[in-house]
Structures are given as C-alpha cells and as structure tokens.
Amino acid sequence: GETVFKTQCAACHQIKGQGGLIGPQLDGIGSRGPDRLMEDILDPNRNVDIHFRLHTLKLHDGTTLTGFVRGEVGQVIVLVDAAGNEQRIAKGDIAEDTELAQSLMPPAFGQMIEPASFNHLVAWLLKQ
C-alpha cells in the first residue's frame, strides 16, 4: 500500500512529511474509517473541504486560470493548479472568481488503480 501511495498519491498528498501539499495532508487519515476513506477516494467531489475547492479565475485580459486558492497575501491571491504550480494573481486583475465544490483529484481516480493495488492502498491508509 505504501508503494501505491508513493506512486499514485504522493504527488498531491503528504503523510509523515513525505509527499506534496497540493491536496489535503493525510496524517491520521485512518481515523476516518473505511467507509469515509472509500468515499473520499471513489467520490472525491462529495465532501470537498472549502480550502481545496476548485476556483476558475477569469482575468480582465481574457486569461482563465483554474486551481485552488492556497492563500492571500495583501492584494494577491496564490492559486495552485493540478500540477502544483503556484501563481500569484493581483486581486485587481480578476474579473470573475467562480468557486466549484469540486476537487482537483480526478473523479475516476479509484478506477485508475488495479483492484489489488487499490485494496493494498486502502489497507495501508487505514493504518495511518
């Protein structure tokens, strides 16, 4: 399961200081129990934390950017895209900000992993 996590999940998620911070940090994820864990993996858009909701920003120059807002620094919004790239956008440059209760995690992520590997991943995550 740990190997599956490292190859399939660690680009976006972190456990014990290892991995990326594009998605939620997962220390203690096992305390959610198997039902909630399966829901989070198989239906990532069902319960998206407000901090990880997808934003589509339309800028005054016609550019459209998509990602989640990592934070704000004064008059600047820090937007992170699915590849983990941060962009700093001046609030004054934003014509429209549409927030969607959607995750950057692919909705079919659970189906992208072979069943045995998926089972190993879930078992390992439940021990965290």
Provide the pLDDT for residue 56. 95
Provide the pLDDT for residue 108. 85
Provide the pLDDT for residue 97. 96
Provide the pLDDT for residue 62. 97
* φ/ψ of residue 81, rounded to 5: -90, 180
> In 3-state terms, what secondary structure has residue 111?
helix
Q: What is the largest CA-CA distance in the chain?
A: 49
Distances (CA, A) of 43 to 3, 110, 117: 22, 8, 18
Q: Give dist(CA 68, CA 51) in Å, integer.
A: 7
Q: Give dist(CA 21, CA 104) in Å, integer.
A: 12
Provide the pLDDT for residue 84. 82
Provide the pLDDT for residue 124. 97
Per-residue pLDDT of the chain (128 residues; tens, 9 = 90+): 999 999 999 988 999 999 988 889 999 999 999 999 999 999 999 988 888 889 999 999 999 999 989 999 999 999 998 788 899 999 999 999 999 988 888 888 888 899 999 999 999 999 99
Provide the pLDDT for residue 23. 87
Provide the pLDDT for residue 2. 96
Reported pTM: 0.77
Please, which residues have CB within 8 angstroms of residue 121's CB and are 6 or more apart in sequence? 1, 4, 5, 8, 9, 113
Locate all alpha helices (DSSP H) within 1-110, ordered by sequence: 2-8, 33-42
Please, which residues have CB within 8 angstroms of residue 100's CB and are 6 or more apart in sequence? 53, 54, 55, 56
